[in-house]
Amino acid sequence: MPSAAMMPHICHLQPALDYWPAPMHSRASAVLMLFISNPEPNAPARIVFTRRSTLVRTHKGQIGFPGGRREEADASPIVTALRETHEEIGLPSEAVEVLGMLPTLPSLDRRSVVPIVGYSDVDLGTLASNEDEVAEIFALPWPNLSPEAMQNLRFNVFGRWRETPYFPASGYHIWGLTAWMLKSAALRS
C-alpha cells in the first residue's frame, strides 16, 4: 500500500459487512471504490473508474465505480463488489485489500448500493475491460475528488429538478451516485 502521505483519510469509513442485511432488497448492489498506487514518485494514490459501454441497458456512457447487482449466491457486499469488479475489469478478488465500506446510498430506483473501499497494487495497464459492459478503465488522483474539488450540478429530469455533487476531473464528468459516494468519503490529507 502507498505511504500514508499518498493515501487520503477517508471520512465515514466503517468496517465492511461480511453478510447482506435482511432488510436490503434482493436487487441491492455493491461497487468498489478502488485505490491504486500512482506510477509517479511521491504522487497521491489514484481511484479507478469505468466508463460504461453503450451496449449496456442502463447508464450508457456514464462514469462510475466497478460493481453491480447482488446475485443470490453472493454472501456479502464485499463478495458482490469483488465479483463484479473481476467481471468488469479483470481484477482478481485476491488482489484487493478491503479497507472498509461507506454508508449505503439509494439509487434513483431506491435500490440500496453499498460502496466497498479497497486498495490494490495492480498496474492499471494490466486491467482488461469486459467490452460488453465497460468502454474505458481510467484512474484519477484522489485530490481531484476531494471536497475542495467538488461543485454542485443542477439538472432537470422528466420535469423534476435535481441537484448532485459534480467533479470535473481531467476531462471526465463525475456526477450522480458516484459523486455522492465521493462526497460521503470526504477524502482529505
Separation of alpha carbons 80 and 112, rounded Å: 13
Residue 139: closest CA among 27, 52, 38: 38
Bridge partners of 87, per DSSP, are none
The pLDDT value recorded for residue 57 is 65
DSSP string, 41-66: TTPPPEEEEEEE-SSSSSSTT-EE-S
The pLDDT value recorded for residue 110 is 82
The pLDDT value recorded for residue 157 is 81
Report whether 66 contacts 105 (CB < 8 A). no
Enumerate residues 6+ apart whose C-beta is below 8 A from 41. Answer: none
The pLDDT value recorded for residue 117 is 98
The pLDDT value recorded for residue 54 is 66
| Three-class SS of 85-123 | HHHHHCCCHHHCEEEEECCCEECCCCCEEEEEEEEECCC
CA angle 12, 176, 20 (to 5 degrees): 50
Each of the 189 residues of the chain gets a pLDDT tens digit; together they read: 666 669 999 999 999 999 998 878 678 999 999 999 999 989 999 999 999 876 656 666 689 999 999 999 999 999 999 999 999 999 999 999 999 999 999 987 788 999 999 999 999 999 999 888 899 999 999 999 999 999 999 988 889 898 999 999 999 999 999 999 999 999 999
Separation of alpha carbons 72 and 55, rounded Å: 24
